[in-house]
Each structure stands twice: as C-alpha cells, then as structure tokens.
Amino acid sequence: MGFCREQLERMRPLWDRMLHHPFLLSTRDGTIARETFGTWMAQDHLFIEAAVPFLGAMIARAPRAHRETLVAAIGALMEELELFRERAEAAGVELEGTEPAFICHAYIQYLHATAARASYPEAFTVLYVAEKAYLESWSVVRAGIERGSPWMPFVENWTSEGFRDYVGWLEAELDRLAADVGGEERSRLERYFERTLKYEIAFWELAVQGARWPGLDEPTADPVSREG
C-alpha cells in the first residue's frame, strides 16, 4: 500500500470528523448563514493568496518532472482568486482589508515555514493533504447542495474532473517521494500529514466560530490597578 492510502487509513477518524463538519453539512443542506459562509470566503481568500508564494517556493526546489503541473497549479490559484472576488461581490462580502483570523494566520505561517524550512517531500505532503481535504470536503457538499445555490461555483471548483486529476497526480507523486525516504523522514511526513489535516478541521471551525481572535471578546473581569 502506498504512503497516502496508509496515512488516510491511519487518520480515518480525524478525516471523517473533517468531512462531517457542520460548516460542510449546513452548506450542503442550504441552512448555512450567509455571514458564516462570508467569513470562510474572506479567510480562504487570504489563505489562497498565501498559497501562491508557497507553491512558488516549492517550484524552486521541484524536480523537473513536477514543474509543469505546479506552475499550472499557480494559474489555478489565480483563477480561484478571481472566483472569490466575483462571488464576494455578488454576495456582498468584503474581501479587501480583511485581517486573518487566528487559525488562518497560524495556517499561513505554517505554509511559509514549511516552504522555507521543510524538505521538498514534507512540503509536498502539506500540499497533498490540503488539496485532498478540499476535494473530499466539497464532494460532501456536492452530494446535497441545490444547483442554484450561490455557493455552487466553489463546489464546482474543487470537485471538477481537472481538480480530481490534479489530486490524483499529487497522490501518485507523494507515494513515489515517500517510497524513497528513510525512516526518520517518513515519520516527519506522517507528522506533517496529521498536522495539516488538523489545520483543515480548524479552518472549517474558524468559519463557524467567527474570525475574532481568542481572548478578546469578554471584558476584563478584574482590571489590574495601574496605581502605585
């Protein structure tokens, strides 16, 4: 069995938790609040903007045979950004000037740190898990969403034939990369796999919980005296 299948089986309970997230189920059922979906849109727009330099850094280190597909993936990100701008305008969601939520900020820092410091197979693992997560998450939504939903273009973006083929390519290439690494590196790939999946769950959670940073909502209970 290849690395990806093995990890997907190891992570099955967490993976299923992601696929049953209330954000996905309520988008599928048409009960999601526009504000909740708007929070996800504005935050994911930031994430995608950060994914462009992440991929750029990967291309700089990619084997020749990976370059063409990764370059095309940057083109796809540019089209996604355009889709977000168009949908945001239609839904009255403000994208410009949005501050990253805590979880979005952390995930973006993780992308940047991975691009700068991790090995190529480690960065490839992060890319694979993030893309596979979106393919499967939006496939859950696709199974029940009304075709006329304003959110349908996002479903189509991440469940298209082309995107499925891209994720299939990532899977085959990650299996190949992982087959060539030693035991310690393989353990690191497993940790990247798990951590990225946890970030994906946290990102759906952020949309539902809202973009406020933790610890800022309640008034200070017992103000510290500044006298003396």
Q: Please, which residue, 106 or 181, has the CB nearer to ligand MP5?
A: 106
Q: Please, which residue, 111 or 145, has the CB nearer to ligand MP5?
A: 111
Q: Please, which residue, 153 or 187, has the CB nearer to ligand MP5?
A: 153
| Secondary structure in 3-state letters for 54-101 | HHHHHHHHCCHHHHHHHHHHHHHHHHHHHHHHHHHHHHCCCCCCCCCC
**What's the one-letter identity of residue 125?**
T
Q: 195 Cβ partners below 8 Å, 6+ apart?
A: 110
Tokens describing residue 219: 């008034």
**What's the one-letter identity of residue 144?**
G
CA–CA dist 128, 124 (Å, integer) = 6
CB 127 within 8 A of CB 166: no
From the CB of 200, what's the least distance to ligand MP5, in Å? 6
Q: Please, which residue, 149 or 157, has the CB nearer to ligand MP5?
A: 157
Tokens describing residue 182: 């030693």
From the CB of 175, what's the least distance to ligand MP5, in Å? 20
From the CB of 226, what's the least distance to ligand MP5, in Å? 41
Q: Please, which residue, 44 or 171, has the CB nearer to ligand MP5?
A: 44
Specify the length of the chain in residues.
228
Q: Please, which residue, 44 or 122, has the CB nearer to ligand MP5?
A: 44
Neighbour tally for 34: CB within 10 Å: 12
Neighbour tally for 183: CB within 10 Å: 7
CB 102 within 8 A of CB 214: yes
Q: Please, which residue, 101 or 133, has the CB nearer to ligand MP5?
A: 133
From the CB of 48, what's the least distance to ligand MP5, in Å? 5
Q: Give the three-state DSSP class for 227.
A: coil
From the CB of 182, what's the least distance to ligand MP5, in Å? 29
From the CB of 72, what's the least distance to ligand MP5, in Å? 12
Binding residues for ligand MP5 (CB under 6 A): 44, 47-48, 51, 77, 80, 130-131, 133-134, 200, 203
Whole-angstrom Cα Rg for the chain: 19
